[in-house]
Amino acid sequence: MGALLVKAAVSGVIVALVSELARRSATAGALLASLPLTSVLAFVWLYRDTGDGAQVAALAREIAWMVPPSLILFVVLPRLLGAGLSFPVALAIGCALTAAGYGALLGLRTFFGGFA
């Protein structure tokens, strides 16, 4: 249980740092947020918990496939906000379209028998 709390605390600190940095500079906040810190932390925690490099490699490969659909949010959200939609509505639409992108990718993977 202690390890889980440490993982949560470290992850929470990173999110807090991004939000505080973004208040001062959108570019600096974006730079920190765009770093694959979550992925790196997940790799470290997974390796620490299992000692299995193959599991880390599998996670890295799967994350790489999930990046393109995740970009939908970052393209759609600023456009919707720029068009005058409220933040909650724009965020909900962006998240829904991103979820649809994930669904489409996973559907293609199933149809084609997975991607290497």
Question: Is the pTM value of this prediction over 0.75?
Answer: no
pLDDT digits (tens, 9 = 90+) for 9-64: 887 888 888 889 889 998 888 888 887 888 888 899 899 999 999 999 999 998 99
SS (H, E, C) 13-75: HHHHHHHHHHHHCHHHHHHHHHCCHHHHHHHHHHHHHHCCHHHHHHHHHHHHHHHHHHHHHHH
Q: Which two tokens stand for residue 35?
A: 């770093």
